[in-house]
Amino acid sequence: MEDNSSGRLSKESVERLHSSNPERGKLFELVGGMPVFLPEGFISNGRVEPSFSSSYTSARQAVNRMFMGIHDAGQAILLPYKVVIEIEGLHLATASRADKENKDSGRPIMDMTNVKGTPVNSDFSKQSADEKWGEIQGPYTGQLAVGRTGKQLFCSRRRRSRRSGCGERCSSC
Tens of pLDDT, residues 7-60: 678 899 999 999 999 989 988 988 888 888 888 888 787 777 777 778 778 888
Among residues 149, 44, 146, which one has the least CA distance to residue 87? 44
Residue 61: φ, ψ to 5° = -65, -40
Tens of pLDDT, residues 95-135: 778 888 887 778 888 777 666 677 787 889 889 989 988 88
Residue 85 to residues 47, 53, 90, Cα–Cα distance (Å): 5, 20, 8
- Give the pLDDT confidence score for residue 72 in this predicted structure: 94
pTM above 0.85, yes or no: no
What is the spatial distance between Cα 85 and Cα 90, in angstroms, rounded to a whole number? 8
Residue 45 to residues 51, 87, 169, Cα–Cα distance (Å): 11, 11, 56
CA 135 to chain centre: 15
3-state secondary structure (DSSP) of residue 158:
coil
Q: Is 109 within 8 Å of 92 (Cβ atoms)? A: no
